[in-house]
Amino acid sequence: MGKRNSQRKNAAILESDDDSSSSSSSDRMSEWGTEEVQVHKDSLLEQALDALYEKRFATLLHQCLNSIKRGSSKEISLASHAIGLLALTVGSGNDAHKILEDSITPFSQALKSQSDSSKISSLLECLAIITFVGENGTEETERSMQIMWQVVNPKLSSNVVASKPSAAVITAVVSAWAFLLTTMDGFSLNPMHWQESISYLSSLLDKDDRSVRIATGEALALIFEIGSVEKFCGEAKGSSNGLTQDGIKPREGFPHIQGLKGKIINQVRNLSAEAGGRSSAKKDLNSQRKLFRDILDFFEYGYCPETTVKIGGESLQTSSWSEQIQLNFLKRFLGGGFIKHMKENEFLHDVFGFTPKKYFLDDEHHISSAEKRMYRSPNSVLNKARTQLLNKQRMLSEGRNLGHFAVNVGDEEV
């Protein structure tokens, strides 16, 4: 009986507790339900925004690719630049990889069918950028590098237009090819793809065009920097009686590599001290001399050039050929937008290990002279408004004090 009474009392207590808390519980359940509905709505909104973004992204990409396939020379150049900017903007990931995969065939076909130097240069630059951002492994990088190489080596592909490439096209190919080579290491390269490439690059150092020589010098310095030079030195497969797995003729090996390096060093030394001709632009000649002096120091002593670029209040520094080539290529592609991208583009921050300085609104670097007059002059609209506000606040304060004084006086009289 006692136990049953105790149980009834406990049940009554629980029932009373349930009654007293039913309203609060229902309130909490209502709140939780509202929160769940809100979370669900937010999730649906995010999904809708993502879908809209994907649709616009795909629409923009395919409109540009249509221009690559059927557009005029101007349209091809603009579309190529737009696709490259799109890749840099979205950064590495699935979207950038989709850009690369959707673009690779149209770009390859366009490079085989075009003969205009400006169009080819634009296509090559864009292909380099979208591969740099969107590749998912060394095989995809080398695929793009081979497409580029075929433009100046028609024998590598029977479908390539067999016309002699101009100096501008050669420069664009070597620059874009070297830019992608910066992402590779010597061990991951397939030697069968790059037979005689150093010999070919060495021959370009003897070209009359200075831009060709400069681009070639940087590419050669990069090849020696990343190592595994032998992968670039072997003879073409058809010209040898037997190649090793590394693609080198057994009778050549180390002596052949050293001999080729010695030849290149002599070429570099001559270019570092080249005398100017009648038609030589002094600025271009000085740039060539400086570059090849740096390359000569690297070949002979192992010193890499160091460069510093001011971006806002911070310095972006490079200390290798790989970094310098990446920096120069991206500066050329982005043009006047380079500084803005380096300040805001997280992908480029990761590439260069760069952290931009954060500025406040009134920072000297962000305020123009007109803005300074507007905000800092004693006679500016802002300062006049501030003065009027302070005067009004002072008058209100004086009025309150006067009223308080009058009330106190009245109390005393009473």
- Per-residue pLDDT of the chain in tens (414 residues, 90 and over written 9): 444 444 444 444 334 444 544 555 555 555 555 555 454 555 665 565 555 556 678 888 999 999 999 988 899 999 999 999 999 999 999 999 999 999 999 999 999 887 789 999 999 999 999 999 999 999 999 999 999 999 987 555 554 445 789 999 999 999 999 999 999 887 777 777 776 788 899 999 999 999 999 999 999 999 989 886 777 775 544 444 444 444 444 445 567 778 888 899 999 999 998 876 544 567 778 888 999 999 999 999 999 989 999 998 889 999 999 999 999 999 999 999 999 999 999 999 999 999 888 744 444 445 555 554 444 555 555 566 666 666 666 676 666 555 554 545 455 444
Burial class of residue 214, CB neighbours in 10 A (0-12, 13-18, 19+): buried
Interatomic CA distance for residues 125 and 81, integer angstroms: 8
CB atoms within 10 A of CB 312: 16
What's the start-to-end Cα distance of the chain, in Å? Answer: 77
Interatomic CA distance for residues 384 and 378, integer angstroms: 7
Q: At what angle do helices 321-334 and 117-134 cross, to 10 degrees?
A: 120
How far is the CA of 352 from the CAs of 177, 183, 320, 373, in angstroms? 19, 12, 12, 37
Rg (C-alpha) for the chain, rounded Å, is 35
Q: 51-79: string of b/e by CB count within 10 Å (b at 16+)?
A: eeeeeebeeebeebbebbeebeeeebbeb
Interatomic CA distance for residues 97 and 133, integer angstroms: 8
Interatomic CA distance for residues 3 and 11, integer angstroms: 12
